[in-house]
Amino acid sequence: MIIAIDGTAASGKGTLGRTLAMRLGLDYLDTGQLYRAVGLAVKLAGVNLEDASDETLKTLIDQLDLCQKFGPELRSSEIGELASKVAAIAQVRTSLLERQRDFAHNPPHGKGAVLDGRDIGSVVLPDADAKFFIDAAADIRATRRHLELKARGEDIEFSEVLADIIKRDCRDKNRTIAPLIAASDAFFIDSSDKNADEVLAICLDYLDGGHEPQAATGL
Ligand code: DC
């Protein structure tokens, strides 16, 4: 059983991925974390993305232990922004593609996997058994992300979080390689007026056959 979840920044895909995996006894991979880890590694190594060669990026990623325990910096707005920038580079996506597919096809507990990201249903796992695409109004997503960052001790204004989210979505949707897009067979959820439990219930219902696929709108 392989489930693909894609969506915009702070749309609730991570919470959905984790809870869905727990409910179904599947393994979970947050693929955004992989891109964040690369963004952090680029920062720590002082690599200039403007003129970094494919070889430099490949070596950096090959040497990166993606299973290590990362500190809270990984979830910061600075690393989110860097992750979105490295995610637009073809070499970075190529280097991470097989790792994601390998996790999906050989999940640690053998039963199946839930992966969330931006291109899971469209590029990484086009044959996934079920695909979800989740979105919400930008101001609602910014409110959620602002609360999350504040709880982590980051001193940041709401307006900055909103601007970051809009900029990041724009870059993720408009890059030439594997842009953020809803697969044509994805089930669309607008989480603007739904809490995490409601979103989970809708997805479980869909997996039980309670809904027809619903094409994504608004993207
Ligand atoms: O989901 P997140 O905010 O942790 O993701 C950080 C960035 O990583 C996001 O802005 C775009 C990139 N990303 C991607 O391009 N493809 C994925 N499958 C997951 C994340």
pLDDT tens across 150-159, in order?
998 889 999 9
Closest Cα to atom 2 of ligand 1: 32
Q: What is the DSSP letter of 69?
A: P
pLDDT at position 126:
97
Cα–Cα distance for residue pair 59/52, rounded to 1 Å: 11
pLDDT at position 18:
98
Cα–Cα distance for residue pair 21/67, rounded to 1 Å: 18
Cα–Cα distance for residue pair 142/108, rounded to 1 Å: 34
**For residue 172, which atom of ligand 1 is closest to its CA?**
11
pLDDT at position 117:
97
Q: Name which of 191, 213, 212 is nearest 200 in CA terms.
A: 191
- Sequence ranges of the domains in the chain: 2-207
Closest Cα to atom 10 of ligand 1: 84
Q: Which residue of 6, 34, 84, 85 sits with most ligand 1 atoms within 8 Å of its CB, as the best mutation to test the pocket?
A: 84
Longest dimension (CA), the chain: 50
pLDDT at position 214:
59
pLDDT at position 66:
83
pLDDT tens, per residue, the chain with 219 residues: 999 999 999 999 999 999 999 999 999 999 999 999 999 999 999 999 999 999 999 999 999 988 888 898 998 889 999 999 999 999 999 999 999 999 999 999 999 999 999 999 999 999 999 999 999 999 999 999 999 999 988 899 999 999 999 999 999 999 999 999 999 999 999 999 999 999 999 999 999 986 665 555 544
* Core vs surface per residue 46-81: b (16+ CB within 10 A) or e: ebeeeebeeeebeebbeebeeeeeeeeebbbbebbe
Place of tokens 């002082």: 46
Amino acid at 95: S
Task: Find residue 187's DSSP bridge partners.
Answer: 132
pLDDT tens across 177-212, in order?
999 999 999 999 999 999 999 999 999 999 998 666
Token pair for 205: 């219902």
Is the domain 2-207 a CATH 3.90.180.10 member? no
142 CA → ligand 1 middle, Å: 16
> Can you give the three-state secondary structure of 137-188, one letter per residue?
CHHHHHHHHHHHHHHCCCCCCHHHHHHHHHHHHHHHHHCCCCCCCCCCCCEE
Ligand 1: list residues with CB < 6 Å.
9, 31-32, 35-36, 80, 83-84, 87, 117-120, 168, 172
pLDDT at position 219:
47
Residues whose CB is less than 8 angstroms from the CB of residue 183 and which lie 6 or more positions away in sequence, other chains included: 4, 6, 121, 122, 126, 131, 133
